[in-house]
């Protein structure tokens, strides 16, 4: 059973990749593979943030409508 990684897990993994690449202790091929992995993780993080932003907007807009009705 595969559990989807949390935003925080992905962010921590991305930080590890950045640190590894900044050290420069890996081969060119390994660097390219890690860079590619980092891009995928970055996109997953962006998607999570966009989903969170949409939920927040729905909540805010829903509350605004409730306040309009009460007035």
pLDDT at 71: 43
Q: Which residues of the chain, if any, have pLDDT below 50?
A: 70-71
pLDDT at 33: 97
What is the chain's alpha carbon radius of gyration, rounded to the nearest angstrom?
19
* Distance (Å, whole) CA 52 – CA 50: 5
The terminus-to-terminus CA distance of the chain in angstroms comes to 50
Q: Which residues of 28-61 are buried (b: 16+ CB within 10 A; e: fewer)?
A: eeeeeebeeebeebeebbeebeeeeeeeeeeeee
């Amino acid at each position: 059973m595969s559990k989807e990684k949390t935003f925080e897990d992905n962010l921590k993994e991305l930080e590890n990749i950045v640190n590894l690449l900044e050290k420069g202790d890996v081969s060119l091929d390994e660097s390219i593979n890690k860079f590619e992995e980092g891009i995928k993780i970055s996109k997953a993080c962006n998607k999570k943030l966009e989903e969170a932003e949409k939920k927040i907007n729905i909540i805010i807009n829903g509350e605004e409508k409730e306040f309009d009705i009460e007035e």
